[in-house]
Amino acid sequence: MGRTFVGMPPFPVAARTALADSQLRRNLAHATGTIRGKRAGAVAELEDWEDLGAQAAAVKDRTLAHLDEHLVALEEALSARGATVHWARDAADACAVVADVARRHGIDEVVKVKSMATQEIGLNEALAEQGIAAWETDLAELIVQLGDDLPSHILVPAIHRNRAEIRDIFRTRMAAAGRPAPDDLTDDPAALAAAARLHLREKFLSARMAVSGANFAVAETGTLVVVESEGNGRMCLTLPDVLVSVVGIEKVVPTWRDLDLFLRLLPRSSTGERMNPYTSMWTGVTPGDGPQEVHVVLLDNGRTRALADEYARQALRCIRCSACLNVCPVYERVGGHAYGSVYPGPIGAIINPLLRGVGQDPQVDALPYASTLCGACGDVCPVAIDIPGVLVHLRTAVVDAHRSDTRPTAEALAVRAAAWTLGDARRLALAEKAAGGAGRVRRGRGMPGGRGAVSWLPFAGSRWTGARDLPLPPRESFRAWWRRGGGTEEGRR
Ligand code: SF4
């Protein structure tokens, strides 16, 4: 059974642990910096990049506004081409469909194309409970699976690992999963890729069933689309007899003309390539060619909940390019595991609360706060999702969800105390006087007007001063200055 995110601590706790890992920060800074540079070059080649993004956002918004109609059209087209369509309300429904198909064929081993949706529903673990082994075939996913690890990036799930760590994982773990790594394996990327290729080739040739997701589903013809870089997806989608694709309902695009927009945006925004190396498309069953039994599981799992939020539903435009992760200063320092989900980074901070709802799980409620609101994620998003705006919107939702809590948080108490103080002029005047006296004062450099700072306050002020300085209040408050006539010519003299 693989590791899961279930039971992960809330972001502030997990981030503190991650920040202590300097190797992790080095790996992340190197990887995200490289991808950022490549992406910037690929995007700069297109003069109409912004315009393409605006068009793509408009297509997604129009589609989401009539999602019911487009999904029915997709179902009809898929059924007409020989695919069996299943509707899954949640993760359990979807996993049950996949397990049932495998059981009916007596299959105990499946190969998988990299798929966020199947990770979201915990498919590998659900299949393992039924005695069915699911093998990841994407190189980075294979590294994560063999290392009994968790993915930490949408596009590069093993971004937190360096070459030497990957060599050690292959050397020690590959044999238990199939063909072993060569004894003399080095950490040369070509050697690592060759070892993975040989290991996976045996899986492709023996598997009778594959499981995939889909980047897009074209409603007008019932065509599913997977874009990838390694060719493992093409192997999975063509060699086995049975194919099950788990597709989030927001993946639907009405027409091929719409798809064209997204295929131009996605590779440049994700890997910084003009075109991704492999784009596989399949439409139901083609007699004598490829899988002869095709199932498509249309997955809700919280998407209709997100859709009900008229402002935040824009998050469902996401094409999982991961550009927002690569520019995020928070993600670059803490990595993906701290977000406690297969969707990390800025998109994870909004999509997890939207899919799962707020007010029930402290881990989910912490995510909208896992941001400095610097805005880099929103600037870089190819489908113009206002991620900072949705983060603020969700913070409001989290606060609203806890208004009736019988045990308020320290933050809520502090805000109530501030409201009480600010609600009365005399109370405010007293507080202003007291502010200069509490805590430990550091005079001097770096503060506005050279005023010095409060470097330590007792609880709950210590929640602030534990990590930052608090500028020292001016010696004279505004109201004292005003009373002695500071607002007049005379007073200023
Ligand atoms: S939110 Fe935007 S930038 Fe982030 S993964 Fe989705 S499409 Fe890419």
Within 8 A by CB and 6+ apart from 16, the residues are none
Looking at residue 423, its pLDDT comes to 86
As beta bridge partners, residue 281 has 225
pLDDT interval class at 23 (50, 70, 90)? confident
Scan for tokens 């594959």, then name that residue.
210
Ranges of each domain in the chain: 42-304, 414-492
Atom 7 in ligand 1: residue holding the nearest Cα: 318
| 345 CA closest ligand 1 atom index | 4
At the top level of CATH, which class does the domain 42-304 belong to? alpha beta
CA dihedral angle for residue 331, residue 332, residue 335, residue 338, rounded to 10 degrees = -40
Q: Is the pLDDT of residue 1 over 60?
A: no
Lowest-pLDDT range of 53-62, 208-217, 244-253, 423-432: 423-432
| 319 CA closest ligand 1 atom index | 7
Q: Are 318 and 351 in contact (CB under 8 A)?
A: yes
Atom 3 in ligand 1: residue holding the nearest Cα: 381
Q: How far is CA 194 from the centre of its chain?
A: 30
400: CA distance to ligand 1 center in Å? Answer: 27
Rounded-to-integer distance, Cα 187 and Cα 195, Å: 11
Pocket test for ligand 1, best of 351, 383, 386, 394 (most atoms within 8 A of CB): 383
| 350 CA closest ligand 1 atom index | 1
Residue, of 46 and 433, whose pLDDT is higher: 46
Q: Is the pLDDT of residue 3 over 80?
A: no
Mean pLDDT of 276-285: 96
Rounded-to-integer distance, Cα 108 and Cα 134, Å: 8
Mean pLDDT of 401-408: 84
Lowest-pLDDT range of 95-99, 126-130, 361-365, 419-423: 419-423
Within 8 A by CB and 6+ apart from 380, the residues are 269, 323, 324, 326, 327
Q: Is the pLDDT of residue 474 over 80?
A: no
Within 8 A by CB and 6+ apart from 482, the residues are none
Mean pLDDT of 487-492: 74
Looking at residue 61, its pLDDT comes to 98
User: Which residues lie with the beta carbon below 6 Å from any ligand 1 atom?
Assistant: 318-324, 347, 380-383, 385
